[in-house]
Structure formats: C-alpha cells, structure tokens
Amino acid sequence: LSLDIAGLILLVASRVDVVLDVGASTGLFALVAGVMDLEVKVHAFEPVSEIYDFLVKNISVNGLWNIQPVKACIANYDGHISVYPNQTPILPFQASTRKDYQSRLPLGSTVPGLTLDSYVAERNIENLGLLKVDAEASDHTVPEGAKRILDRDRTYIVCEVLHTDTEHLI
C-alpha cells in the first residue's frame, strides 16, 4: 500500500461520519482516518490476537478514542472462521482466511466471524461513508456480507485487489 492510498483515505475521511477498516492490522489507515476529524467514528477490524494488541496500543498511545477496535474477521457469514498468520518475518502483521496463501502457518486459529451487515445493524450505525478492505485474498467476501449497507448508503470503497488472487472474484 502506498502513501497515495493514505492520502485518499485522508481526503475521504474528512467528508464522512463513519469509517470501517477491514483488515486493520496495526491500525495505520484507522489512525489516518481517526486523526483527520475526531468526530469521525472509525471501526477497525483485526482478527489475529497478536496484531490486534498492536492495534489497540496504537489507538491508545495516539489518544484516538473515536476509533473502536474490533477483534473479528469480516466475511460473508457470521460464525467462526479460521485465520492463518503469515510465517515470514518480512510480513509479520498479515493473516488470511486462505490456508494456501503466501506461506501461511499450517495451523490457523479460529476467530469470531461477522458480516458487516450484522455488525452495522447490531450497533445502529448509519451513513457508512468509507469502507477500506485489505483482507489478504479474502477481500471479495467482505462486500458479499455487506450488501444491505452498500445498497443503503453511498459508501466510498477502497479495496485491495491482488493480481491473480482476487481480481477475478471482485
């Protein structure tokens, strides 16, 4: 991801009320969106415990109480999902729901899985302004579980598309 994407998120986040950051990792884009306007409500989703702990710490040390960290995997169904962290030291803050994707650990962990439709409905979130998706080869499942809110709201979407892995699925 480049600084151009961070600049795009800065621009869009300054014009919306609610941002959902799917695949937040340690929180770079959630922090960028949250610092732009302290009135913007940011929900940052990260399913892997070790990475989630960094996300929570980054939110805290920056004093951005408008960012809500959520320890869950966003997908196209509610339930439990296996996630597989990357085993290489080059990309230690990355995980996928695909066991075969980029040298994942052979054993994953089971985490809560949610659709954005159910998350937003349960919390009465209105006017989703920006949806950022970086779900490591599972990106296509996120909008499948967000059909109601994407039909309801005029949402900006910034989504990772991986050549040969996901571009044919989106």
pLDDT digits (tens, 9 = 90+) for 138-152: 888 899 999 999 999
- The rounded mean pLDDT for the chain is 82
pTM exceeds 0.75 for this model:
yes
Could you tell me what percent of the chain has a pLDDT over 70? 75
What is the C-alpha to C-alpha distance for residues 106 and 71, in angstroms, rounded to an integer? 22
User: Which string of DSSP letters, residue by residue, matches 3-21?
Assistant: HHHHHHHHHHHTT-SEEEE
Output the pLDDT for position 149.
95
Tell the residue number behind the tokens 């799917």, with chain if given.
22
Q: What percent of the chain has pLDDT over 90?
A: 48
Residue 37 CA to residue 170 CA, distance in Å, equals 31
**Per-residue pLDDT tens for 119-145?**
999 999 999 999 999 887 788 889 999
